[in-house]
A and B are shown apart, each in its own frame.
Chain A
Amino acid sequence: MEQSISQDISNIYGLQCDHCALPVITPYTNDQGDNFCCRGCLTVFSIIKNHNLQNYYNIQKADDTPRKAVNRIQEKQYSYLDDPLFLQDYVHYNLNSEATLSFFLEGVHCIACLWLIEKIPTFTPEIKSVRLNFENSVATITLKKEFTLFSKVASALNNLGYPPTPLRSDDEIKKLQQKEERSYLLRIGVAAACMMNIMLYAVGLYAGAQGVIGSAFSFIALVFCIPIVTYCAQPFYTSSIKAIVNGSINIDTPLSIAIVLGFIVSLHNVIIGTEAHYFDSIATLTFLILFSRYLLLKASRHNYQRSGLNSFLTDSSIVRRSSENQLEEIHPSQIRVGDTILISPGSSLPCDGKIIKGSSEISLAILNGESKAKKHHKGMMVFMGTINLGSAIEIEVISCAEETKLGKIYAAADSIDKKKANITLLTDRISKFFVAAVLATSALTILTFIFLGQIESGINRALALIIITCPCALGLATPLTYSRIMNLSAKMGALLKSEYVLEKLSRAKNIFFDKTGTITTGDYRVARVKRIREASAPYSIESIIFSMEANSSHPVALTLIDWAKLSSATLENIPCTNLCENLGKGVTASIDGTNYEIRSSPSDNEFLKIILVEDGKVITEMLLKDTIKDNTASLFEELNSKNYNLFIASGDQPSQVREVAAQLNLNKTNWRSSMSPEEKGEWVEQYPNTLFIGDGVNDTLAFSKSSTSIAVKGSLEVSLSSSEIYLKGSDIELIPHILLMAKAGSKTIKRNLVFSIVYNILGATLALFGILGPLEAAILMPLSSLTVLLSTLWGTRESLFINRKTL
């Protein structure tokens, strides 16, 4: 409802943010009359202008990447970045002994961002260079020789709207990933080089090179094939040996057998002087499969992965009161039990603790899904991850990191995740059966021919069989399909953790939704307004509220400002005197000699009640509430029409959930309320093929108990550490598209399976009867690969999904 009004208004005004180009609902205007959608954009715009970097907007116009609004910027000092103890683990010195530090940047979304970030040295004299890796949003910053401190750099990045998170210089996982990627590339490069050289001579041989030249060509092809068999194909051997040790077979088993046997047979043939060899086939096969797997590896790694809990901590710096009663800024990893830390309004708690000063409303939504914030007083326990919506408080740290309530939920989910065996992919199951059949047939062939007394012919035919039936179609097309689908979904704004997710998604039948933050917006909106009487000052209520709250950054104030702008087209900015924001108590000011106060008032229902008081008398009551996202109803309708079973699992009060369920036409049996994280997990477990959609942290247990899961909120790392799919921009409307894409992918894979099985049976029969020679096999092998390649590209073509929706 609220949203539709806001859309109407933005249609009327037709305003676009001058920074991010999103439609402006509640304009922030600067002196030059430019309009912005939020304060963040305004700040960034003025910084860009002050530094003569307006070219940013030209680059931005040329680039068609969808833009996202910049988060509201909070001023930060990052003084902890100058702490030598901290720097020890994070800063790395290069050969010229210049200090370098890598940051993970939030909010890098287009080429213009890249340009802007790399221009930072032009207005920050300490910096020598900034290199941004666009793919994983990591900026590596090198300082000039005489500088070693990074706090200024970090605030420069923050002010541009890219909140930085420093990365450890000795990150083992990162190094391993890099090493793995490089070795993959090396193998591909070597395989490609050898393959092309072998081809040169193979073509000569097929064209009829004979005699000395013929055997020279064969010998050269043999030499070029050695690195392929010994080096490039190594990953296949490792993986199939691993499978065999575990008492199973996988797709790599027949691949390895084909490569090794093919090489041995060819070697034998070269030595006895016949030109029949498979070197070119082996090389092509190895190269194509390595390449398709590399693409898959790349597709599943375009996100920066770190352990969930730590990344949850790192997005903001913490203010600590030191033993000398001084305030100092520290990195969240430096919090110790017993510290006193300050929690500002609107920020999330970095640890568990006890309030020792002040009292405040704290939203526990992240822990139990309850949408209404609860008042917490001195002496009460507060928990990591919850959000302080009231005033600033001081807490004594009781436990941090893994010891916190949130940390324990994470640990529980993690241990379930580890126990939960990954599903076997369809291709793996089929290839198992297939390999067994091929090996049995070849053994049978050899035995038959031994029985007939023609050992040599038997061995030749059996080997031809193994090589021809080598399931390159499976090994090549399946990873390619997965990587295509994953790249396409990333383009739409959904990041998938691995290829297993796609197969699980295509089987999903029962979809569970969390309520707070998933179906609803997760923050307050003005739901009802009760106007008792007009103000005695000659201004509208909206103008009074707008002017009094205009400078506040409190979440409730922002909601009220949005509301005022929406409900009145003629807002005035009234000069207020004695404007005073009493944190946690509200705002007081006097206008034309009358005293006004905006504060919260206790309410007995689910609403948060805000009142406007004029000279001690309440003149307006506003009820604030978490409201439903405006696209949820159509989403539910669409999924319902596709025969998915929809459920709502919420930790919120029954009355709230009932209302939402009624709006979405949900059966009474399909929603439950007041559920603990454990209960959610148990409920999900009762159904097969489940998909759980939640907002990241309080649903972690349910995530790990369901077949697959989507996180719609929170930062990328937190979500991906607990769920398997991350939606950029929390757009749940994307869910039907992802399901559609998963289905299309699984359809393509099945079709490729049919192709390659039919082809293999034909080839095998011909080989067994001795009709198929090495030349025919060499032509047929790439042909079959080409067929499945084309089939893959056709099955995952963009137009299948594009008429639905692209962002």
Chain B
Amino acid sequence: MEVITILIPFAIALGVSFLALFIWATKNGQFDDLDTPSKRILFEEDNNNNIKRKEV
């Protein structure tokens, strides 16, 4: 059970660092628009398009 004395601080540090990352991202405006990026990801890059056409 002694391992818990290492694991707990480690778990807490991990949790806090992710929280800090989240706070930074929010303040940076990463979550301002939750709708558009999910759609934007569907568009193929034009370059890929051209390559595909050439292959055909």
Contact A220 B32 (CB under 8 A): no
Q: Contacting B39 at CB < 8 Å: which of A114, A189, A193?
A: A114
Contact A193 B12 (CB under 8 A): no
B56 interfacial by beta-carbon distance below 8 Å: no
Chain B, range 16-31, C-beta contacts under 8 Å to A: 18-19, 22-23, 26-27, 29, 31
The interface on chain B, measured as residues whose beta carbon lies within 8 A of the other chain's beta carbons, has a size of: 25
For B43, list chain A residues within 8 Å (CB): 59, 115, 118
| Chain B residues, Cβ within 8 Å of A189 | 19, 22-23, 26
Cβ contact of A200, chosen from B11, B31, B46, cutoff 8 A? B11
Q: Is B3 among interface residues, defined by CB-CB distance under 8 A? A: no
Q: Are B26 and A185 in contact (CB under 8 A)?
A: yes
A133 contact set on B, CB distance < 8 A: 32-33, 35-36
Q: In the complex, which of the residues A118, A122, A131, A185 has the most CB atoms of chain B within 10 Å of its own CB atom? A: A185
A residues 181-203 near B (Cβ < 8 Å) are 181-182, 185-186, 189-190, 193, 196-197, 200
Nearest chain B CB to A262 CB, angstrom units? 22
Q: Which residues of A contact B27 (CB under 8 A)?
A: 182, 186
B26 and A135 form a contact (CB under 8 A): no
A:118-138 near B, CB below 8 Å: 118, 122, 131-135
B6 within 8 A of A: no
A-chain residues with CB within 8 Å of residue B11 when the two chains form the complex: 197, 200
Whose C-beta in chain A lies nearest to the C-beta of B43? A115
Q: Across the interface, which residues of A come within 8 angstroms of B31, CB to CB?
A: 182, 185
Q: Tell whether B8 is near chain A: CB-to-CB under 8 Å.
A: yes
Cβ B33 vs Cβ A135 within 8 A: yes
- Decide if B22 touches A114 in the complex (CB within 8 Å): no
Question: A185-B26, A213-B4, A220-B8 known; A178 and B36 CB under 8 Å?
Answer: no
A492 to B42 Cα, complex, angstroms: 24
What is the chain B residue whose CB lies nearest that of A223? Answer: B12
Contact check, B36 vs A114: say whether CB atoms are below 8 A apart: yes
Q: Among the listed A111, A118, A132, A182, which residue makes an inter-chain contact with B26, where contact means beta carbons less than 8 Å apart?
A: A182
Cβ proximity bits A93-128 to B, threshold 8 Å, 1 near / 0 not: 000000000000000000100110010001000000
Q: How far is the CA of A664 from the CA of B51 in the complex (A)?
A: 61
Q: A193-B19, A213-B1 are in contact. Are A178 and B32 (CB under 8 A)?
A: yes
* Known A-B contacts A133-B36, A134-B39, A135-B33; A193 and B15 likewise in contact (beta carbons under 8 Å): yes
Interface string of A521-540 (1 = CB under 8 A from B): 00000000000000000000
Quick one: closest A residue to B8, CB to CB? A220
Cβ A114 vs Cβ B40 within 8 A: yes
Q: How many residues of A contact B (CB 8 A)?
A: 26
Please measure, in the bound complex, the distance between the C-alpha atom of A307 and the C-alpha atom of B27, giving whole angstroms.
28
> Closest B-chain residue to A115, C-beta based?
B43
Assess whether B18 is in contact with A193, with CB atoms less than 8 Å apart.
yes
- Residues of chain A lying within 8 A (CB to CB) of residue B29: 182
Q: Which residue of B lies closest to A122 (CB)?
A: B46
Interface residues of A in 178-234 (CB under 8 A from B): 178, 181-182, 185-186, 189-190, 193, 196-197, 200, 213, 216, 220
Q: Which residues of chain B are within 8 angstroms of A457 by Cβ–Cβ distance?
A: none
Query: A631 on the interface (CB 8 Å rule)?
Result: no
A302 to B20, CA, bound (A): 28
Q: Which residues of B lie under 8 Å from residue A197 when comparing CB positions? A: 11-12, 15
With A55-B49, A182-B32: A190-B19 Cβ-Cβ less than 8 Å = yes
A800 to B27 alpha-carbon distance, docked (Å): 40
Shortest distance from the beta carbon of B43 to any chain A beta carbon, whole Å:
5
Chain A nearest CB from B38 CB (Å) reads 9
Would you give the shortest CB distance from B12 to chain A, in whole angstroms?
Answer: 7
Residue of A nearest to B49 (CB): A55
Is there contact, CB below 8 Å, between B26 and A186?
A: yes
| Nearest neighbor of B23 in chain A, beta-carbon distance | A186
Interface string of A28-41 (1 = CB under 8 A from B): 00000000000000
Are A135 and B18 interface neighbours, CB within 8 A? no
B20 (CB) vs chain A CBs: closest residue: A193
Whether the Cβ atoms of B42 and A220 lie closer than 8 Å is no
In the complex, what distance in Å separates the CA atom of A181 from the CA atom of B33? 11
B-contact bits for A57-72, CB 8 A (1 contact / 0 none): 0010000000000000
**Contact among B1, B22, B36 with A193 in the assembled complex (CB-CB below 8 Å):** B22
Chain A residues with CB under 8 A of B34: 135
Q: Give complex CA distance A196, B4 in Å.
A: 18
The answer for the CA separation of A132 and B33 in the assembled complex, in Å, is 10
In the docked arrangement, what's the CA distance between A792 and B51, Å? 50
Pick from A122, A134, A200: contact of B36, CB below 8 A. A134
Q: State in angstroms the CA–CA spacing of A216 and B27 once bound together.
A: 33
What 0/1 pattern do residues 8 to 44 of A give for CB contact below 8 A with B? 0000000000000000000000000000000000000
Q: Which of B22, B35, B46 contacts A135 (CB 8 A)?
A: B35
Min Cβ gap B17→A in Å is: 11
Contacts of A178 in B (CB 8 A): 32
Q: What's the Cα separation between A220 and B1 when bound, in Å?
A: 17
Assembly CA distance A193 to B23 (angstroms) = 11
* B40 nearest CB across to chain A (Å): 7
How long is the Cα–Cα vector from A59 to B43 in the complex, in angstroms?
Answer: 8
Closest chain B residue, CB of each to CB of A196:
B15
Please give, as numbers and ranges, the residues of chain A lying within 8 Å of B32 by CB-CB distance.
133, 178, 181-182
| Nearest-CB residue, chain B, relative to A118 | B40
Given contacts A181-B32, A182-B26, A193-B18, 14 further A-B contacts (CB under 8 A): A55-B49, A111-B42, A118-B40, A131-B36, A135-B35, A182-B31, A186-B26, A189-B19, A189-B26, A197-B11, A200-B11, A216-B8, A220-B8, A220-B12
Q: Which of A's residues lie within 8 Å of B, judged by CB? A: 55, 59, 111, 114-115, 118, 122, 131-135, 178, 181-182, 185-186, 189-190, 193, 196-197, 200, 213, 216, 220
Question: Please, could you name 26 A-B residue pairs with CB atoms under 8 Å apart, sorted by A?
Answer: A59-B42, A111-B42, A115-B43, A122-B46, A132-B36, A133-B32, A133-B35, A134-B35, A135-B34, A135-B35, A135-B36, A178-B32, A182-B27, A182-B31, A182-B32, A186-B23, A186-B27, A189-B22, A189-B23, A189-B26, A190-B19, A193-B18, A193-B19, A197-B11, A213-B1, A213-B4
9 A-B pairs closest in CB distance:
A134-B36, A135-B35, A193-B19, A189-B22, A133-B33, A134-B35, A111-B39, A197-B15, A185-B26
